[in-house]
Amino acid sequence: MSWNPLTPPDQRGRTIVVTGATAGIGYFAAEQLAGAGAHVVLASRSPAKLAAARRAIRDQVDGAEVDTVTLDLAAPDSVADAVRSLSAFPRLDGLLLNGGAMQRDTKPTAWGVPTILGTHVVANVALVAGLLPALIAGGDAGRPSRIVHASSGFVDRAGLDVSEVQAIPRRWVVAYTKAKTVTEVFAFELERRLRTADAPVISLVSRPGVGVDARTPERAGVRDASTPRQRNPFTPWAQGKDSAAWSAVRAMTDPAAQGGELYAPAGAFRGAPVRRDPNPSTSTPDAVLAQSVWDQLEALAGSRIAIESPTR
Whether residue 131 has pLDDT greater than 80: yes
Instruction: Give the Cβ contact number of residue 63 at 10 Å.
Output: 7
Instruction: Give the count of domains, the chain.
Output: 1
Residue 241 has a pLDDT of: 96
Instruction: Note the pLDDT tens digit of each residue in 189-202.
Output: 999 999 999 999 99
Out of 27, 28, 176, 263, the active site residue is 176
Which residues constitute the domain of residue 229?
A: 15-301
- For residue 105, tell me if it sits in a domain: yes
Domain assignment of residue 126, yes or no: yes
| pLDDT (mean) for 169-198 | 96
pLDDT tens sequence across 259-292 = 999 999 999 889 999 999 999 999 999 999 999 9
- Annotation says 263 is catalytic: no
pLDDT at 312 over 60: no
The verdict on residue 258 lying in a domain is yes
pLDDT exceeds 60 at position 1? no
- Domain-located, residue 306: no
Q: Average pLDDT, stretch 102-113?
A: 83
Q: Please report whether residue 311 resides in a domain.
A: no
Structural domain includes residue 7: no
What pLDDT was estimated at residue 158? 82
Comparing 48 with 310, the larger pLDDT belongs to 48
Average pLDDT score over residue span 105-131: 93
Q: What is the pLDDT of residue 232?
A: 74
